[in-house]
Amino acid sequence: MAKPSRRVTPPDESEALAAQIVEMMMSYGQAQFGDAVKAYWVYAGDLCPGCLKRPIDAMKYKGKEGLAINSFIYRECGVLIGYLLCSQCAKGIYEATPRPDDELHQNIERNLIAAYHRYLASLDA
Ligand SMILES: [Zn+2]
């Protein structure tokens, strides 16, 4: 599980948080999606994958009922992708009537998939 190129910064709160998220995802991912899940990945970009404008500020609330940790199954690759949102987008999701096909979800999924492919490309570099 060694990472090829380990960045030194930032120290390591976000990395620890990402590890926590992966653990949470693993605990329910298999149950929820079964064999569709072959891998887990946490989006750790600086910008919210919902709007690509605001930073992921929901992370400030870590420890508080897992606030904005979401996950999305990228079936084509069998990857369960965990992500956090900015508070604006998180609000939009939690306060809106759930409509999985709405624009925000489409943006999130598209941005996460793009980010995942950038990540895969960075592994090959
Ligand atoms: Zn956002």
**pTM of the predicted model over 0.75:** no
Q: How far is the CA of 57 from the centre of ligand 1 (A)?
A: 9
Q: What is the pLDDT of residues 42-93, one digit of tens each?
A: 898 889 999 999 988 755 555 554 445 788 899 999 999 999 888 888 877 7
Instruction: Indicate whether 60 belongs to any domain.
Output: yes
* Cβ–Cβ under 8 Å, residues 27 and 51: no
Instruction: Indicate whether 1 belongs to any domain.
Output: no
| Beta-bridge mates of residue 82 | 42, 71
Number of domains forming the structure of the chain: 1
Q: How far is the CA of 96 from the centre of ligand 1 (A)?
A: 14
pLDDT at position 110: 95
Q: pLDDT band for 9, please (50, 70, 90 cuts).
A: very low
Q: How far is the CA of 2 from the centre of ligand 1 (A)?
A: 31
Residue 29 domain boundaries: 13-124
Q: What is the pLDDT of residues 29-40, one digit of tens each?
A: 878 888 889 998
